[in-house]
Structure 1
Amino acid sequence: MKESDAPFDRWHKKYPKSGDTPCRCGTQRNPLYPSADHGRGKRWQARYVGPDGKSHRPVFDSREQARAHLEQVRHALQEDTWEQETSGTKKLEFYSSEFISRRRKKNKRESTTETYETHLRIHILPYAGCRVAKALRRKDTMALVDHLLDKGTIAPGYIVQIFKTWRILMNYLIDEDVPLPANICARIELPEVEPRVKVVLTAEQVCRLAAAMRQVEPRYELLIWIAACAGLREGEAFGLTHDAVGWETDVLYVEEQRQKGKAVPLKTKSSRATLPVDHFLIERIVEHVRRIPRMRPVSRNAELKRQRRGWIPPTDEGLIVTNRDGRPVQRSDFNEKFRMAVVLADLPPETWFHDLKHWYTTRLGASGKFDPKTVQALSRHAEFSETWDTYAHPPLAVQGVKVEAFSELFTAETGFDERQANHARRLTSTAPDVPHSLPTRG
């Protein structure tokens, strides 16, 4: 039995070194120092040596559970009823279900959890769901990749994503003390993935894309300008509300995004910001609010049909851009319209909506008005390398910065002359349905 009479804390060092930084788990009087396993798997471990001479280390969520298990083992040894414990005797299907349910219990990002669940349900579990977890080996990982390749209908990039989900699941099993080989996912040869052709847009192409969207679906045109002149991602543009616009201060309060019509947290902490924008974009938003009703008007007959089938009008959530029924924009509907606009604007077929965010960052850097760190902050990237290799940290993206990098660029392209601009400014100051000011943000 002797190895440890008390539960062992896997998450914290028993003998911290000088210079270690305490974590938030402890107190000022009793600080705790994180170990390499901090936050991974279950925290408490019941360590003992069985009659077989081997060390056994089952893990538990709480100290009380680990202590109770040690008492049971001690009693079983005294009564000579001890039986060897084995981890990983259940099927992979059980552990994958447990993996998904724990992610949801811990409020992990729902879109990522749904991606894992899809990979497991469609590809991984039909292949290995009935296998006993502890029997899995490295050759099973290689066989899974070969199995996906043999289907012939799965893109190489998607196979890589499925493999990553498999690797995350294997790491979860190891954290659950399932005796898997350490190299189960090591040195696996994956298919070559052709890098996506990057589309570098010009101002003239952005204008053509906006004009094309105006023909395809006028209420979605503003989303093009929001991405190009503020660098908002697709879900962030969907989630922009009237209260999130500083009508007189030329700022956007980026606080949430929309996925499948629901408000969800932003991609990263750095995504949340009070973002200065060019007044050109504010004028576009004012024009959209004036021109596009929240719900598409319907005929009298259509209204009577709605009443007969008990149609309930959607709640007004204050969204700037909605679909024709006044509901949050769905990604599938917008992407379909976006592809049509790309064709109509004669842009490269590889053009994505996210290319507009790349264009936004490129334009800020090329304008010569902002230093590199300011461009990072306006682009809302957590790392400086992300701004410059791929495309800031303060809550207010940049203090005291006025963005005027887009109005002079698009005025000539769109014919948005000064007389129209003055008219839009008058609309901003007199519009009863456009808020003049926002509550003070803490």
Structure 2
Amino acid sequence: MSIDDLWYLTTRGPDKKRLPSKRHGRGKRWRVRYADAAGKSREKLFERKTDAEAFDARVRAGVAEEMKVQQSERNVTLREYGERWRLSREAGWALETRKRVESNLRCHLYPAFGDRPLRTIHLTSVLEWLTRRLDEGTPRTSLKLYFELLDAVLSAAVTDKMIADNPCDGVKLAQMLRGFSRAPKWVPTEGEVLALLDAVPPRYRAAIWLGAGQGCRLGEALGMEDGSRCVDQERAELHIAQQLRYAPQQYGGFYLSEPKAGSSGTVDLDPVVGKVLAEHVRDFPPVAVELVDITAGDPVCRSVPLLFTTTRGNPLTDRTWSREWADWRDAAGWPKEHGTFHALRHFFATTLITNHAEPQEVQRMLRHKTLRITLETYVHWWPKRERRRGLVGTVLQAAATRTSPT
């Protein structure tokens, strides 16, 4: 937006005086150029500069009539606009991104803001939502993803002239999250893990060992296949190379993808877990399932001898597993809120720590991207050694005694 004086040129003469234009003295002198609510370039002429400046100010504030959207667009909800935003962009997204964005919108943003018109979502609304989710124990990394998605949708709404500004711009998310710990809310004891193993049917007991004895996530455990690609018994190595995913509209439903970003890798295979897996393969021979594998990038269909399937030989969906898990959890006396499969991973990590494993070794076994994530998550479990008082002074005094002439 700018204000132009149509009676004079922008260049000046040799005497530094302004040069009159061809329109000098004819018609309205002042022109305001702006983009309307639809994003089209417009201009409006005024006799007086003060009127032009006042109009320009109203345009910048979004209160000029020319900047107001139609009444139907004023009442567009986040759900309506969010779906338009998603569908118009997902052609350029990978399958994992499409699934994650759709799920996060549906499960996390729409329940909070879906039925509200875009123009009614303010900074305070966003801050209240963030605070509530933190109080409910939403993991910081997950909440950061949800917030960034909300920010992206509302930024697009600003560009489309649906709203004047993005309320997320005023949120200092890093400062909000800094005061909340990554620490797990609940970690099972050895006895509670054994109780769970007793409650789980033999067909799926080895999956529990992968969680508690190797720190595998659920998708990684359910994606394990027989053979050296995942379980190398000769070298005593476990290769975390894939996870089982389920998307009904893609690849016929089930497919294999890379593990959580940055967490692929090879770790030591615990001898006890290796024995349990060998017995599992003997008692429950792996079922070959035709799956699409996208771990290498391009989709490849191959026969995968999955270690864990239903009694009918089908892969396990999240919903099927969750239904069975609820019964096993209750039978073992685990808490409903935090007694998830991921709690087994916390048990694995804290057991390593309390048995004096080095921080770098714990990071490697958990396949965390950085050591900082490991330390921040399990800060309360690291053994605290009592520091001797006056240590440095004592060392220097002893050194001085050794070097002083006798």
Question: Is TM more than 0.5 here?
Answer: yes
Contact 1:209 1:345 in 2 (8 A): yes
- Offset at residue 86 of structure 1 (A): 6.6
Structure 2-normalised TM-score? Answer: 0.57
Determine which of 368, 376, 400 is the counterpart of 2:363: 376
- Offset at residue 163 of structure 1 (A): 7.8
Matched, 1:278 2:270: yes
Contact 2:183 2:376 in 1 (8 A): no
C-alpha spacing 1:319/1:280, structure 2 compared with 1 (3 Å): same
Contact 1:235 1:258 in 2 (8 A): yes
Q: Which residue of 1 aligns with 2:312?
A: 325
Q: Which residue of 2 aligns with 1:96?
A: 82
Matched, 1:362 2:353: no
Contact 2:155 2:166 in 1 (8 A): no
Determine which of 152, 156, 174 is the counterpart of 1:172: 156
Q: Which residue of 2 aligns with 1:14?
A: none
Q: Which has the larger radius of gyration?
A: 2
- Offset at residue 348 of structure 1 (A): 4.0
Contact 1:236 1:257 in 2 (8 A): yes
Q: Which residue of 2 aligns with 1:114?
A: 102
Secondary structure of residue in 2 paired with 1:262? strand
Secondary structure of residue in 1 paired with 2:33? coil
C-alpha spacing 1:87/1:318, structure 2 compared with 1 (3 Å): farther
Q: Which residue of 2 aligns with 1:265?
A: 258
Q: Which residue of 2 aligns with 1:226?
A: 210
2: distance between equivalents of 1:339 and 1:320? 21
The CA deviation string for residues 135-191 of structure 1, in whole angstroms up to 9 with x for no partner, is: x25549739979xx9xxxxx9668x96983544421333465765225467469x9x
Once the two structures are overlaid, the 10-residue window that deviates more, 283-292 or 341-350, is 341-350
Q: Which residue of 2 aligns with 1:247?
A: 233
Answer 1 or 2: which has greater strand percent.
2
- Offset at residue 111 of structure 1 (A): 4.2
- Offset at residue 385 of structure 1 (A): 2.3
Structure 1-normalised TM-score? Answer: 0.53
Count of aligned positions: 283
Contact 1:227 1:356 in 2 (8 A): yes
Give the root-mean-square deviation of aligned CA atoms.
Answer: 4.3
1: distance between equivalents of 2:114 and 2:239? 42
Identity %: 22
**1:32-431 map, 5 Å:** 52-54=32-34, 91=76, 95-101=81-87, 102-103=89-90, 105-107=92-94, 109-119=97-107, 124-128=113-117, 136=119, 138-139=121-122, 142=125, 164=147, 166-174=150-158, 180-183=164-167, 186=170, 198-213=185-200, 217-242=201-226, 243-260=229-246, 261-269=254-262, 271-294=263-286, 317-349=304-336, 350-368=338-356, 370-391=357-378
The CA deviation string for residues 268-302 of structure 1, in whole angstroms up to 9 with x for no partner, is: 12x1111222122111111001011446xxxxxxx
C-alpha spacing 1:104/1:226, structure 2 compared with 1 (3 Å): farther
Residue ranges of structure 2 left out of the alignment (5+ in a row): 4-29, 43-64, 247-253, 288-301, 379-406
Contact 1:87 1:178 in 2 (8 A): no
Secondary structure of residue in 1 paired with 2:115? helix
The CA deviation string for residues 188-228 of structure 1, in whole angstroms up to 9 with x for no partner, is: 9x9xx999982222333322211221xxx321111110011
The CA deviation string for residues 282-339 of structure 1, in whole angstroms up to 9 with x for no partner, is: 11111001011446xxxxxxxxxxxxxxxxxxx9521111111211112222222222
